[in-house]
Amino acid sequence: MISTSDFKTGITIELEGEIYTVLEFQHVKPGKGAAFVRSKLKNLRSGSIVDRTFRAGEKMARAHLERKEMEYLYRDDDSFYLMDSENYEQIAVSVAQIGESINYLKENDHLSILFYGEEIVGVDVPITVVLKVADTEPGVKGDTASGASKSATTETGLVVQVPLFVNSGDSIKIDTRTGSYIERA
């Protein structure tokens, strides 16, 4: 059990049968009345964000998550097959469980999977990934000084805005937090 005074950003708690991670919290002591803690919590199963107020010192169960390093092997119709890097055990993960990370995964990439018991509650991809540009309009010579951009489709199907000098077949580095172009790789 943990108290609201133990709250830190990123800590995971069990509340009303759901698993939440603390995104923000603020301890408030009004001039009159008891202190309380305002918090912003993210549901790890559904991804929804909830604002919640707790009494100061209120106790709740801490959710213990296990992080495993896994390697993405291949994709079937609606499943991704991952291999545990330690014991080489393979598991199938649905597209819904992967979520937005689907746009950044290539075969043989390494990623971290968050488990709550046997249930997968999160997928962490690296902060930056290198993807090959599958399709984009050719750049026009002399247009590079304007700072303009164009759409490019990567090998995973992600559409990203890139500078005009990037061509089909180039490898580009993408920030997975924002989904934006960083540089040519």
Instruction: Look at residues 166, 151, 160 and name the one whose alpha carbon lies nearest to residue 180.
Output: 160
Q: How far apart are CA 76 and CA 80, in angstroms?
A: 6
Q: Residue 140's pLDDT is what?
A: 65
Q: Are strands 2-3 and 149-154 parallel, antiparallel or unpaired?
A: unpaired
Q: Residue 141's pLDDT is what?
A: 63
Asked if 121 contacts 45 with a C-beta cutoff of 8 angstroms, the reply is: yes
Which residues in 17-32 are b (16+ Cβ under 10 Å) and which e?
Answer: eebbbbeebeeeeeee
Q: Do domains 2-62 and 128-184 have the same CATH topology?
A: no
Asked if 158 contacts 176 with a C-beta cutoff of 8 angstroms, the reply is: no
Q: Residue 78's pLDDT is what?
A: 83
2-62 maps to which CATH number?
Answer: 2.30.30.30
Domain ranges of the chain: 2-62, 66-124, 128-184
What is the mean pLDDT of each successive set of 10 residues along the chain, which is 185 residues long? 87 90 90 90 87 91 89 86 89 82 85 86 85 83 67 89 87 88 87
State which fold the 66-124 domain adopts: OB fold (Dihydrolipoamide Acetyltransferase, E2P) (2.40.50)
Q: Residue 7's pLDDT is what?
A: 87
128-184 maps to which CATH number?
Answer: 2.40.50.140
Count CB-CB contacts under 10 A for residue 8. Answer: 8
Q: Residue 173's pLDDT is what?
A: 92
Q: Residue 37's pLDDT is what?
A: 92
> What single string gives the DSSP state of each residue in the chain?
-EEGGG--TT-EEEETTEEEEEEEEEEE--SSS--EEEEEEEETTT--EEEEEEETT-EEEEP--EEEEEEEEEE-SSEEEEEETTT--EEEEEHHHHGGGGGG--TT-EEEEEEETTEEEEEE--SEEEEEEEEEPPPPTT-GGGT-EEEEEETTS-EEEEETT--TT-EEEEETTTTEEEEE-
